[in-house]
């Protein structure tokens, strides 16, 4: 090495050192941001505003327009964004029950493929002829904006119980649509790079099909084989077992990506298989994956807020409104209609799904792809997508519960499985079911013994007006009551069905 080269290397080595002072500063800022984010989640629950907006606001607040932290690395954002999406998809797959989405897999798969193409074409045509963008840029923006975010939908609908057919379809779509959208965005962005080789549309379609098929096969294989092996190696430590489960989902992504298959679909399907294998330490696995998913979401949205520049965002507000209105009022409804009509999905469900297409982190992360691949003059796409996500989340989120009620899609009783870290329950193969009795439920006035729950299920706790008690067989249920039902795994489904039957038909359900 020459003297000049040695000097440069020494200078680089010195400048890249990370001292204990830097560590202290990073921990101080990071811990404060996390604490503020935790408080923001509570505000989100009470107000109904999706937490993603509050996390983005935190990022903007500590960025160059606020406290002055400067961050402008789109490539680093993309890398960290992909890492966060892996953990978010892993949580989604691990906590999704196959029985809840089984009937929705077909419609969700079509909506995540055919629906994506329809949406991209509609937005692309509108952007080409209304905004006079080039076809490449118009279709690229349409592809970036196609992916929906079920987490944002469910954060709004916490207090509005949806029928399982709708919540299952939203869950399945959010798990499936990230993979084809990522493939499409990368392909279109690569085509827009100056000097890049252009490929016919059918070649891109064939590559996308092969990548999705390969990712699907790898995800199912890693999930099944890895789950069986992990089950045999499982020890008494629920913490270590949870780490092993997450490692398998990450492994599925890495293996698929290394052979140029879809890593995102592999990660989600591996997590879905693992989450429905009946593995031990399920409550601990769910808690650990949820914690990692929450941490990933906080970090991702704060990072995206840091990357955004408030001074540039207002310049894209007009374009964002035009594209967003086309997406909300034309592209999304048309994609839902084309994809779901063959499955005879009721029109009310289609209207709700059209309005429930909230955008979240994925479009904003994908907006960094064109610039990182070297596409010239596309830096503004990030600002446009950022503004669009914020504006239309503020428009759609507050009205989503109202739309569900107006369409008559809410249920009067809500059942939520609890994650209970209890070794005796796990050894007995038991589950805990939470039942909330709504204002229109016919469970009102029914005595506990009249529920006629199957053998192996029993109401163990009743919470009324904030006070808990152990109900007796003659205890009368009221509107607003919350029940805890403990049931063995074998009769859990039957207990749920029985509660729903009495909710709809009253105490004589099953007799008439």
Distance CA 461, CA 45 (A): 25
In this structure, the answer to whether residues 358 and 433 fall within a common structural domain is no
Distance CA 446, CA 437 (A): 11
pLDDT digits (tens, 9 = 90+) for 191-239: 877 766 666 777 778 888 899 999 999 999 999 999 999 888 766 677 8
Tokens read off for 209: 């099909």
- Choose between 444 and 373: higher pLDDT: 444
| Share above pLDDT 70 across residues of the chain, in percent, rounded to a whole number | 89
| Torsion angle defined by CA atoms of residues 107, 113, 115 and 116, in that order, rounded to the nearest 10 degrees | 150
What pLDDT sits at residue 310?
81
* pTM of structure: 0.76
Could you tell me the pLDDT band of residue 157, with boundaries at 50, 70 and 90?
low
The reply to whether 226 falls in a domain is yes
What pLDDT sits at residue 99?
80
The reply to whether 38 falls in a domain is no
In this structure, the answer to whether residues 373 and 469 fall within a common structural domain is no
pLDDT digits (tens, 9 = 90+) for 356-402: 888 888 898 889 888 888 777 788 999 999 999 999 888 888 888 88
CATH number at residue 436: 3.30.70.1450
Closest CA to 201 of 144, 117, 116: 117
The reply to whether 32 falls in a domain is no
Give the residue-averaged pLDDT of 50-79.
83
What pLDDT sits at residue 1?
47
Could you tell me the pLDDT band of residue 413, with boundaries at 50, 70 and 90?
low
Contact 247, 276 (CB under 8 A): no
In this structure, the answer to whether residues 96 and 59 fall within a common structural domain is yes
In this structure, the answer to whether residues 442 and 401 fall within a common structural domain is no
The reply to whether 18 falls in a domain is no
Could you tell me the pLDDT band of residue 505, with boundaries at 50, 70 and 90?
confident
What pLDDT sits at residue 196?
66
Q: Vertex 83, ends 293 and 67: CA angle to 5°? A: 80
Contact 96, 269 (CB under 8 A): no
Give the residue-averaged pLDDT of 90-100.
86
In this structure, the answer to whether residues 289 and 175 fall within a common structural domain is yes
For residue 425, pLDDT over 60 is answered with: no
Give the residue-averaged pLDDT of 452-463.
91
**Which domain-ending residue is among 406, 428, 443?**
406
Could you tell me the pLDDT band of residue 22, with boundaries at 50, 70 and 90?
confident
Distance CA 471, CA 461 (A): 6
In this structure, the answer to whether residues 58 and 198 fall within a common structural domain is yes
What pLDDT sits at residue 68?
76
Closest CA to 60 of 312, 372, 291, 359: 312
What pLDDT sits at residue 278?
80
Give the residue-averaged pLDDT of 172-197.
83
In this structure, the answer to whether residues 378 and 451 fall within a common structural domain is no
Could you tell me the pLDDT band of residue 2, with boundaries at 50, 70 and 90?
very low
In this structure, the answer to whether residues 431 and 371 fall within a common structural domain is no
Cα separation values, 232 from 244, 294, 334, Å? 12, 29, 48
Number of domains making up the chain: 2
Could you tell me the pLDDT band of residue 441, with boundaries at 50, 70 and 90?
confident
pLDDT digits (tens, 9 = 90+) for 39-50: 887 787 677 677
pLDDT digits (tens, 9 = 90+) for 64-74: 777 778 887 87
In this structure, the answer to whether residues 395 and 426 fall within a common structural domain is no
- The DSSP string of 205-227 is HHHHHHHHHHHHHHHHHHHHHHH
Give the residue-averaged pLDDT of 142-167.
75
Contact 458, 324 (CB under 8 A): no
The reply to whether 10 falls in a domain is no
The reply to whether 28 falls in a domain is no
The reply to whether 452 falls in a domain is yes
For residue 16, pLDDT over 60 is answered with: no
Distance CA 113, CA 357 (A): 15
pLDDT digits (tens, 9 = 90+) for 274-328: 999 888 888 888 889 989 988 998 888 898 888 888 878 888 889 999 999 999 9
CB atoms within 10 A of CB 344: 7
Domain with 495 in it: 413-508
Q: Which 3-state string (H, E, C) describes 423-491?
A: HHHHHHCEEEEEEEECCCCCCCCCEHHHHCCCCCEEEEEEEECCEEECCCCCCECCCCCEEEEEEECCC
Looking at every residue in the chain, the average pLDDT score rounds to 84
Could you tell me the pLDDT band of residue 150, with boundaries at 50, 70 and 90?
low
What pLDDT sits at residue 308?
86
Could you tell me the pLDDT band of residue 167, with boundaries at 50, 70 and 90?
confident
The reply to whether 40 falls in a domain is no
What pLDDT sits at residue 172?
85
In this structure, the answer to whether residues 115 and 201 fall within a common structural domain is yes
In this structure, the answer to whether residues 296 and 439 fall within a common structural domain is no
| Share above pLDDT 90 across residues of the chain, in percent, rounded to a whole number | 34
CATH number at residue 303: 1.20.1530.20
Could you tell me the pLDDT band of residue 416, with boundaries at 50, 70 and 90?
low
In this structure, the answer to whether residues 184 and 57 fall within a common structural domain is yes
Give the residue-averaged pLDDT of 78-87.
90
**Which domain-ending residue is among 378, 406, 434?**
406
The top-scoring range by mean pLDDT among 101-105, 129-133, 158-162, 280-284 is 129-133
**Which domain-ending residue is among 406, 426, 461?**
406
């Amino acid at each position: 090495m020459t003297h000049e080269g040695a000097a440069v290397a020494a200078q680089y080595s010195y400048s890249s050192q990370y001292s204990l002072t830097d560590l202290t500063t990073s921990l101080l800022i990071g811990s404060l941001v996390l604490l503020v984010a935790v408080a923001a989640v509570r505000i989100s629950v009470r107000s109904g505003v999706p937490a993603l907006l509050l996390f983005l606001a935190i990022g903007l607040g500590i960025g160059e327009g606020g406290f002055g932290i400067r961050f402008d690395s789109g490539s680093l954002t993309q890398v960290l964004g992909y890492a966060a999406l892996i953990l978010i998809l892993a949580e989604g797959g691990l906590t999704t029950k196959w029985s809840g989405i089984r009937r929705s897999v077909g419609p969700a798969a079509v909506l995540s493929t055919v629906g994506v193409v329809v949406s991209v074409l509609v937005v692309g045509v509108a952007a080409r002829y209304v905004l006079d963008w080039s076809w490449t840029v118009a279709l690229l923006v349409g592809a970036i904006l196609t992916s929906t975010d079920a987490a944002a939908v469910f954060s709004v609908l916490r207090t509005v119980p949806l029928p399982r057919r709708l919540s299952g379809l939203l869950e399945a779509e959010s798990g499936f649509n990230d993979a084809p959208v990522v493939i499409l965005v990368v392909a279109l962005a690569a085509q827009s790079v100056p000097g890049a080789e252009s490929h016919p549309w059918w070649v891109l379609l064939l590559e996308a099909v092969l990548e999705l098929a390969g990712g699907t096969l790898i995800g199912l294989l890693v999930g099944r084989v890895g789950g069986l092996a992990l089950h045999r190696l499982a020890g008494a430590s629920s913490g270590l077992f949870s780490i092993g489960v997450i490692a398998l989902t990450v492994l599925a992504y890495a293996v698929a990506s290394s052979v140029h298959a879809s890593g995102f679909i592999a990660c989600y399907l591996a997590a879905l298989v693992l989450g429905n294998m009946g593995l031990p330490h399920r409550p601990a696995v769910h808690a650990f994956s949820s914690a990692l998913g929450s941490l990933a979401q906080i970090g991702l949205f704060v990072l995206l807020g840091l990357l955004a520049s408030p001074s540039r965002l207002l310049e894209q507000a007009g374009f964002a409104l035009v594209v967003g209105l086309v997406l909300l009022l034309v592209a999304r409804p048309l994609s839902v209609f084309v994809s779901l009509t063959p499955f005879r999905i009721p029109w009310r469900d289609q209207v709700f799904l059209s309005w429930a297409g909230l955008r979240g982190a994925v479009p904003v992360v994908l907006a960094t792809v064109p610039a990182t691949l070297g596409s010239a003059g596309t830096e503004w796409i990030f600002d446009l997508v950022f503004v669009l996500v914020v504006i239309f989340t503020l428009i759609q989120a507050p009205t989503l519960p109202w739309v569900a009620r107006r369409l008559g899609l809410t249920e009067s009783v809500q059942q939520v499985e609890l994650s209970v870290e209890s070794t005796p329950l796990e050894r007995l193969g038991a589950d805990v079911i939470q039942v909330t009795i709504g204002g229109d439920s016919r469970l009102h006035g029914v005595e506990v013994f009249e529920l006629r729950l199957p053998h192996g299920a029993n109401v163990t706790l009743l919470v009324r007006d904030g006070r808990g008690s152990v109900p007796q067989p003659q205890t009368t249920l009221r509107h607003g009551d919350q029940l805890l039902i403990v049931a063995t795994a074998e009769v859990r489904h039957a207990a749920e069905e029985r509660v729903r039957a009495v909710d709809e038909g009253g105490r004589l359900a099953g007799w008439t």
